[in-house]
Chain A
């Protein structure tokens, strides 16, 4: 219990300290959702740092509870409280009821799958939960966990999710549903962050629609219930994007956006690309001070990542097998270029992963923007970040040594899912924001 309270309280305390009082219930709910997600991420990052330093991790939860409670008391829960006299906005009852029913259905199927496969799917057993077991069973033998003799286990992947799961194993045991519970928490918070963020910016109906779109992605259940780290990364990226667009020049929100972006980089290797893309989008749309605030917020996380990569992780398998001549041959191959482009388009329209919601989100996100000034800036940040992320996905497949035809169909849905929360935020802005 103290593990869960510590994980959530730390993030809530940051949100309480970073924001003034909320101007609407949706904004308040967004801060609770973003705070809980940031708290989970901070708990994982702290555990990763302690484990890399060879220090015991269990006291971390007590420290987070004490520090979180102290900050909440010191700021009197400011950012999590409503301004006086806020009137409850009318919500679309049909959409709200549909949200509740869809969330209940996805939750039931998630639990059903987790009961049958408590260790998750192929990737979870080969990478994430394997690392979590290694951290839990032999916390002082990191050389075994990061052995280059098991390249399929991706020993160069950062440890936020495995460290969090290892902490949960320490509390509940390896035979528990600990890893499934953490996967469920991230999936639920992805829906909550996207829904409440859209509601805070665009009204309750837009929030309900955004949550429904995320729940309507079959990939949410597939990747979530199989305990892939793509869902935590999607949730953290959506949080970083939402905090950046809610900032409106506020430094606290941008600091938290930077923190969330650094947690993306601590979750998976490509998370660093997404963090850089968001930072460039914020820098070009909001200029120097905003970019600096975001960078400062992410600094601890990026330093931790640097230490991990330089001192502990073996070289990335793709990078190790890449030569300049080979790289040039691949990027200058027109057929490969065409195969990557057509493969990514085909994957983004794949009904098995995206249902009908995915193609609709892509169309809405790409639709020309004619929005009022406030919404336009938010949409511009999201669109630039997503455009850079998409270009990065394209570059990854173009430059990666394996055969595109073999690699792309088994991995593109994961990369695209990582961007899905941010894409839904852009799509709902495009649909629901007031026009010029």
Chain B
């Protein structure tokens, strides 16, 4: 029984050390919490500008299709604009876009046949021309 006890303690300790190393060292430490923004903060100004009857919004970005960055931006937009449907296409009258740089927003809008309604940092709201 005594041997089993020490085996269990070692097994658990290895996992806990992994937890500690991951959360306190490899990730940002707690002191960075004030620098963190919630994922929907970038889009919070968008819903008041959308007409109430608009239920579907397109999503556009300049990051590589299929990349993690594209997926992350799309999911953040959905999370913020919920319960509206945010689809990765250029089908709908209104579109939200997120670019790597704010200067890229105009060219994204032009390329997909939209005009800029408003922008805030690297996030913009477009409307079909």
Contact = CB atoms under 8 A, between A and B. Distances in A.
B36 A116 contact: yes
A150 B30 contact: no
Contacts, number: 132
Given A147-B85, A431-B4, 8 more contacts: A92-B5, A125-B79, A129-B79, A144-B83, A153-B78, A216-B14, A218-B19, A355-B18
B22 interface: yes
Contact of A356 (B11, B36, B85): B11
Contacts of B84: 144
Contacts of B39: 119, 125
B13 interface: yes
A213 B12 CA distance: 6
B19 A106 contact: yes
A368 to B, nearest CB: 18
30 contacts: A94-B5, A94-B9, A95-B8, A95-B9, A98-B9, A105-B16, A109-B23, A112-B23, A113-B23, A116-B33, A118-B38, A119-B40, A122-B75, A125-B75, A125-B76, A126-B79, A133-B82, A134-B82, A138-B83, A144-B85, A152-B71, A153-B78, A205-B5, A216-B11, A216-B15, A218-B15, A351-B14, A352-B18, A355-B15, A356-B10
B83 A105 contact: no
A119 B82 CA distance: 14
A48 interface: no
A217 interface: yes
Interface centre among B8, B9, B78 (most CB of A within 10 A): B8
Contacts of B13: 216
Interface in B77-113: 78-79, 82-87
A193 interface: no
A142 to B, nearest CB: 10
Interface in B1-35: 1, 4-5, 7-16, 18-20, 22-24, 27-28, 30, 32-33
A126 B78 contact: yes
Given A116-B33, A152-B71, A216-B11, A137 B16 contact: no
Given A116-B30, A119-B38, A212-B8, A150 B15 contact: no
Contact of A115 (B33, B78, B83): B33
Interface centre among B15, B82, B86 (most CB of A within 10 A): B15
A331 interface: no
Interface centre among B13, B27, B40 (most CB of A within 10 A): B13
B28 to A, nearest CB: 7
B121 interface: no
Interface in A98-141: 98, 102, 105-106, 109, 112-113, 115-119, 122, 125-126, 129-130, 133-134, 137-138, 141
Nearest to A359: B11
A105 B9 CA distance: 14
A144 B55 contact: yes
A244 interface: no
A119 B43 CA distance: 15
B28 A116 contact: yes
A98 B86 contact: no
Interface in A138-169: 138, 141, 144-145, 147, 149-150, 152-153
A217 B9 CA distance: 13
A137 B78 contact: no
A137 B82 contact: yes
B128 interface: no
Contacts of B7: 360
Given A134-B82, A150-B85, A152-B75, A357 B15 contact: yes
B60 to A, nearest CB: 15
A8 B5 CA distance: 33
Contact of A130 (B9, B22, B72, B82): B82
A209 B10 contact: no
A354 interface: yes
A49 interface: no
Interface in A385-414: none
A264 interface: no
Given A98-B9, A213-B12, A355-B15, A134 B83 contact: yes
B5 A141 contact: no
Contacts of A351: 14, 18
B78 A98 contact: no
Contacts of A152: 71, 74-75
A221 interface: yes
